[in-house]
Amino acid sequence: MTPVERYLTEHRSRFIQELCDYLRFPSISAQPAHAPDMRACARWLVERCRAIGLKTELCTTGGNPVVVARTPRDRRQRKPHFVVYGHYDVQPPDPLDLWDSPPFEPSIRGDLLFARGSSDNKGQHMAHLNAVEAYFATGTELPCDLTFVVEGEEEVGSTHLGRFLRDRKADLRCEAIVISDTGIPGREHPALTYALRGICALEVVVRGPSRDLHSGIFGGCVDNPAMVLCQMLASLRDAKGRITIPGFYDDVVPIGAYERRQMKRLPFTERQERRFLGVKQLFGEAGYTFVEQRSARPTCEINGLTSGYQGEGSKTIIPSWASAKLTFRLVANQDPSRVAQLVTRHLKKVCPPTVRLEVKGGHGGAPYMLDPKSAFAQASLRAVRSAFQCEPVLLREGGSIPIVTDCQRILGADALLIGLALPDANAHSPNESFSLSIFDRGMRMSAHLWPELSKVSRER
């Protein structure tokens, strides 16, 4: 065992306590009322990074602050530089009554630490911070310079981060960016994620009469915005799960034969999945396996649908308006702004003249794909393999991390996605959890990573 590994073992319980402290902040980026919690959480992180020995700044961006923490630089040596990205913001915890323990009161049951943000993403980037602490505290030299960039707006589309990266390009220029914000298929199946889906978010509002109307007095002669919206939304997809917007699939790169073989090796079965999700039957685009459907094919989802009376009992009205929040998950080589245009054009075409339609653009992020044969990808796989003591799988993931393509474009660096969340971690759901034994392996993975990646950059 190296001194770094011994240190990680000896300080395990403090690391868990500190992670619990971090998880107590309700850093919900989607809700403006939590702005003070966002700042408090970021300030806590700044203190934690400083205590480790990192040169740390709290940076303003126009949105929630970004924490930037650098290993002290030694001017006499030119070391390779890597950025580690994470996010301290979390998704809203609702519905609260489905949580077995309150979302912001971390609770450990067996190997699992339950709290909103435990897997997505506080636990995951803390693993990297703790590994750096272990290097410093044991006097082990890091073979590279590191900069941690931990933002507070990932869950709402990272709207201010692109600009921030551009402004700081000189400081952040790096060989690669390491991100642990994805999943692994199982405890014995650690992974390198080589592709993420992109996203295009939109809001659709349909307006009818100037106020809610009596549905008996006026029903039959005035169009119903809720009905119209439902019909329009229903026209986005056919019964076979194919999106019917003209041009939507034009830029989609088909799934490679090699990828199909990889996906078949993953430890998922339809039966298990159906049970785990509590659905009667899985549903997806015909002609694809469910693993392909949820990672390598684009989708159209309604995330929220609002109209009319939703309180107790009934209220006989024609609602004045109806609205829906939509997101499309995109795959290589779809472009989020082109998709937004295609969707808007289609909705305008199918909208009847009886209502007014508004389509509001939301956040967007391009899909990401890395060559898993690249030297950095292979070096990451070595670090994962030695920490988990088993053979990692290559994954395409269905989620999005909008910043990864910005990093490629702005910093010229590929993202190495080595996540630590288990499939039943309940990210974005009630009872989110993080496995503490995976936390241990994640810290070791991080410790192994820096020598592996640095070797590659020295050989380049």
Binding site for ligand BES (CB under 6 A): 120-121, 154-155, 157, 181-183, 196, 199, 363, 365, 397, 399-402, 427
| Cβ-based nearer residue to ligand BES, 29 or 457 | 29
**Rounded least distance, CB 290 to ligand BES, Å:** 15
- For the bound state, the minimum distance from the C-beta of residue 399 to Zn ion, rounded and expressed in Å, comes to 7
Q: CA-to-CA distance for 30 and 397, rounded, in angstroms?
A: 23
Nearest residue to ligand BES by CB is 399
Under 8 Å between Cβ of 61 and 149: no
Residue 336 contact among Zn ion, ligand BES, none, beta carbon within 5 to 8 Å by kind: none
The tokens for 174 are 């790096």
* From the list Zn ion, ligand BES, none, partner contacted by residue 107 (C-beta under 5 to 8 A by kind): none
Closer of 106 and 365 to ligand BES (Cβ): 365
For the bound state, the minimum distance from the C-beta of residue 119 to Zn ion, rounded and expressed in Å, comes to 9
Count of other CB atoms within 10 angstroms of residue 301? 11
Parallel, antiparallel or unpaired: strands 198-207 and 356-365: antiparallel
Return the DSSP state at 411: I
Q: For residues 224 and 316, is the Cβ–Cβ distance under 8 A? A: no
Q: Which is nearer to Zn ion, 157 or 185 (CB)?
A: 157
Where does this chain bind Zn ion (CB under 5 A)? 120
When the beta carbons of 65 and 183 are compared against ligand BES, the nearer one is 183
For residue 41, count other CB atoms closer than 10 A to its CB.
Answer: 28
Among Zn ion, ligand BES, none, the one that 259 touches (CB under a kind-dependent 5 to 8 A) is none
Q: CB of residue 193 vs ligand BES: minimum separation in angstroms?
A: 7
Residue 195: which of 375, 409, 397, 413 has the closest Cα? 397
Nearest residue to the partner Zn ion, using Cβ: 120
Q: Answer whether the bond into residue 130 is a cis peptide, omega within 30°.
A: no
User: Are the C-beta atoms of 27 and 67 separated by less than 8 Å?
Assistant: no
What residues form DSSP beta bridges with 202? 326, 361
Q: Contact, 397 vs 182, CB < 8 A?
A: yes
What counts of helices (H) and strands (E) characterise the chain? 14, 18
For residue 199, the minimal CB distance to ligand BES (Å) is 5
Question: Choosing among Zn ion, ligand BES, none, which partner's interface includes residue 181 (Cβ < 5 to 8 Å by kind)?
Answer: ligand BES
Q: Alpha carbon 74 to chain centroid distance? A: 34
Return the amino acid letter for 335: D
Shortest distance in whole angstroms from residue 124 CB to ligand BES:
8
Angle at 446 between CA 441 and CA 448, to 5 degrees: 95
Partner that binds at residue 420, options ligand BES, Zn ion, none, CB closer than 5 to 8 Å by kind? none
Question: Which residue lies nearer to ligand BES by CB, 238 or 301?
Answer: 301
E strand intervals along 197-255: 198-207, 213-214
Residue with tokens 């309700």: 26
Which CB atom, from 416 or from 425, has the smaller least distance to Zn ion? Answer: 425
* Residue 34 in tokens: 């939590």
199 binds, among Zn ion, ligand BES, none (CB under 5 to 8 A by kind): ligand BES
Smallest distance from ligand BES to CB 240, Å: 25
Residue 291's binding partner among Zn ion, ligand BES, none (Cβ under 5 to 8 angstroms by kind) is none
Distance separating alpha carbons of residues 69 and 56, to the nearest angstrom: 4
- Cα separation, 49 vs 447, in Å, equals 17
Task: Identify the sign of the CA torsion 147, 150, 153, 157.
Answer: positive
- Minimum CB separation of residue 286 from ligand BES in Å reads 24
Kindly tell me which of 5 and 432 has the beta carbon lying closer to Zn ion: 432
Q: Which entry of Zn ion, ligand BES, none binds 402, CB below 5 to 8 A by partner kind? A: ligand BES
* Between 142 and 178, CB nearer to Zn ion: 178
Q: Which is nearer to ligand BES, 317 or 384 (CB)?
A: 384
Shortest Cβ 129–Zn ion spacing (Å):
19
